[in-house]
Structure 1
Amino acid sequence: MCTVTLLPISAKKNGFILTSNRDESAEREALPPDFYSENGIKMLYPKDKLAGGTWIGLSEQKRLICLLNGEFKPHVRETSYRLSRGVVVKDLLAAISIDEAVENYNFKNIEPFTIVAVDWNSGLRFLELVWDGKIKHFKDLDLKSHIWSSSPLYSSEMKTIREQWFLEFQNDKSLSAEALWEFHTSAGIGDANIDVIMDRGFVKTQNISQIEKTSEEIKMKFMDLKDRDIIEIEF
């Protein structure tokens, strides 16, 4: 998992749209988004029913965290790990300062991951955190459009192809939440191994989440691909 796109909404103060396709085993059932309290902090996220964590969420700390499995390149999995990556997501959502949280967090013996974060405490910030199993790579990103495809599932060649799809899509479309939802439900070449909604039998796209923030509101949209019911919740 996953495929993630992020872009700012230039006309709206601190506005952005992040959309995530979760590619996962069918055994990893997800509960739809709901409100939770973690360390006294209000959060909204879909929950991994098996592990109890999440891969995407919002918190009242004016923050969005979205997880992709893997780092810059594929890795060899260890037999076991100390902590689930889904717990890291919730910890970073609850933190007062994401910079201090990342600086002080113990990532030792956690499986490699990539986190895309948006923080709007002091202006809009796009951030990327990559834990490669030994070193954390944490940086601010330019406030422009971005796309990520998780390394365990997509080769560098596949990533490049998908980046080109996204570039062409932006050139052809007036970008909006609806247009990005269309990209995440239809982009591809008719090859289920690489299309944005992918299916390789043992793993496939299970659901789509979208978070849109404008100056007026912030909301989460969620669709489970088994029944294709859409849920929208305002935070």
Structure 2
Amino acid sequence: MCTVTFLPKGASSYILTSNRDETPKRAAHVPQAYEVHGKEVFFPKDPLAGGTWVATDKKQFTLCLLNGAFEKHHHKPPYKLSRGIMLLDFFKYSNVQRFVDQYDFGGIEPFTLILIEDKGNLSATELVWDENNLHVKSLDATQPHIWSSSTLYPEAVRAERRHWFKLWLETHDTFVQQEIIDFHKTGGKGDEWNDFVMNREGKVQTVSVTSIEKDSDYNMVYEDLLS
């Protein structure tokens, strides 16, 4: 939930890949199908809160969550509910606009939520909740994007990571799922604190990589980096 890339592959094809940076004690269940608000949704489950950081219904929507808004915030529990549950609550709604208009984000810790929608042509939306306001931004779904969590990476580091991604893009005319997964596992400069696969003295580290490719069908790859 802390490093995310989006790669477009055509009018309705894409690859979304996420590195989860978390305490290694907070392992997740491997992805499988769950019934969520009457819909079949595929995601790796966080056993602590029951939510997730990445999910797809393999029909129309793929969502990915990052902790934090624009800058690092002060952690002020208790919060109303887990951000990972909020992500799953999206599937109560028929479209992004209804979720934006009707969901009560008050009392939730700051987050950034990426929503990819396929209705024949791709659309992408970024929601940023800063504890007081919801910032809604339409993204260009024909262009690659990268995000890094503001709770772990200050702006200077986020900018450096955008540069690594830019260099990778310059050597890739076509996008292959395994190649972007490999980049998520090797990107960086040998800095354990800030590389794509990070480790901060075992307290917080990259515990998994999840990649969802939508082409003629959906393919979800999940790699547990701890085991």
- TM (normalized to structure 1)? 0.92
Residue 173 of structure 1 deviates from its aligned partner by 2.5
Post-superposition CA distance 1:20-48 (Å, at most 9, x none)? 00000112110000100011100000000
1:130-149 correspondence to structure 2 within 5 Å: 130-143=128-141, 144-149=143-148
Quick check: 1:95 aligned with 2:96? no
Give the aligned residue type for 1:140. S
Would the aligned equivalents of 1:61 and 1:93 in 2 still touch at CA under 8 Å?
Answer: no
CA shift for structure 1 position 122: 5.4
CA contact (8 A) 1:2 1:22 kept: yes
| 1:61-210 map, 5 Å | 62-121=60-119, 123-143=121-141, 144-174=143-173, 175-201=175-201, 202-210=203-211
TM-score, normalization: structure 2?
Answer: 0.95
Moved more, 142-151 or 52-61: 52-61
Are 2:68 and 2:149, in contact at CA under 8 Å, matched by a contact in 1?
A: yes
CA, structure 1 residues 212+19, in 2 after alignment: closer, same or farther (shift >3 Å)?
same
> Does the CA-based 8 Å contact 2:209-2:222 persist in structure 1?
yes
Measure, in 2, the Cα distance between the counterparts of 1:75 and 1:103. Answer: 24
Amino acid at match of 1:218: Y
What is the rounded CA distance, in whole Å, between the counterparts of 1:155 and 1:37 in structure 2? 37
After superposition, where does 1:9-48 map in structure 2 within 5 Å?
Answer: 9-10=9-10, 13-48=11-46
Partner of 2:49: 51
Identity percentage of aligned residues: 39
Structure 2 residue runs of 5 or longer lacking an equivalent are: none
User: Which residue number corresponds to residue 218 of structure 1?
Assistant: 218
Contact 1:118 1:127 in 2 (8 A): yes
Once the two structures are overlaid, the 10-residue window that deviates more, 79-88 or 162-171, is 79-88
Task: Please give the per-residue CA displacement for 1:78-116, whole angstroms capped at 9, x wherever unaligned.
Answer: 121011101111011342112111111100010000001
User: For the residues of structure 1 that align with 2:92 and 2:178, how far apart are their CA atoms?
Assistant: 29
Specify the code of the residue in structure 1 equivalent to 2:207.
Answer: Q
Contact 1:64/1:93, CA 8 A, preserved across alignment: no
Is the 1:7–1:145 contact (alpha carbons within 8 Å) kept by the matching residues of 2? Answer: yes
Amino acid in structure 2 at the alignment position of 1:208: V
- Runs of 4 or more, structure 1, over 4 Å off, are none
- Output the CA distance in 1 between the equivalents of 2:91 and 2:198: 28
RMSD of aligned residue pairs (Cα, Å)? 1.2
* Secondary structure in 1 matching 2:199: coil
Counterpart-to-counterpart distance in 1, 2:178 and 2:224: 17
Q: Which amino acid aligns with 1:212?
A: E
Partner of 1:231: none
Instruction: Give SS of 1:49's match.
Output: coil
> Separation in 2 of the partners of 1:131 and 1:122?
28
